[in-house]
Amino acid sequence: AAAAAGYDGIGLFVGDYARLRTTDRIGELDELLAEHRMPITDIEVLQGWGTVGLDDERYAATEALAWEMADRFGCRYVQAIGPVPDDPAEAGARFAELCDRAADHGLVVGLEFLPVTNVPDIDSARAVVDSPEAALALDRDRLPARYGVLTTAVAMGPILRERLVKNGIRCDGKS
């Protein structure tokens, strides 16, 4: 269905991968991906990197599974969401650390702003993202109705010219 709709790849939630792994059904996933010639291109979602981080066993296990997915499937993108520390400098430092760890697995990290977190909009996300392995994730379904994608993209400024993540797929300024 994804290929028929014109998609080049699909995303997989870390929790779904963990369930497949626990029930020894990864082989079934491999067969489906091969049958439909559809790669897993992105990993969803890391939450907790900005607050509890690697000191929390549950978060550390989730992050380790994301890296395993990247290595196994050749994914290039992982999505991250808040919450983040209230201090923008601390939030940026933690995000940069996450990006460094992701880069070890060939991943770019996209920070998606969500109204239900303390990274609710583009301005708060821009305050966090400052790493060569980072991008902002734009989900058109979560953009305020008064803004179009173009208006939001312009608000991103230089980040857009370097890299733009749109709906979980990394774009390098190419249409």
pLDDT band at 166 (very low <50, low <70, confident <90, very high): very low
Residue-wise pLDDT tens digits, 109-120: 989 888 888 988
Between 70-74, 77-81, 131-135, the lowest mean confidence (pLDDT) is in 131-135
Above 50 in pLDDT, residue 56?
yes
pLDDT value at residue 5: 83
pTM (predicted TM-score):
0.80
Interhelix angle 14-22/57-73, rounded to 10 degrees, is 80
Of all helices (H) and strands (E), which one includes residue 166? Answer: strand 164-166
pLDDT higher than 90, residue 78 = yes
Q: Output the pLDDT for position 138.
A: 66
β-strand pairing of 164-166 with 169-171: antiparallel
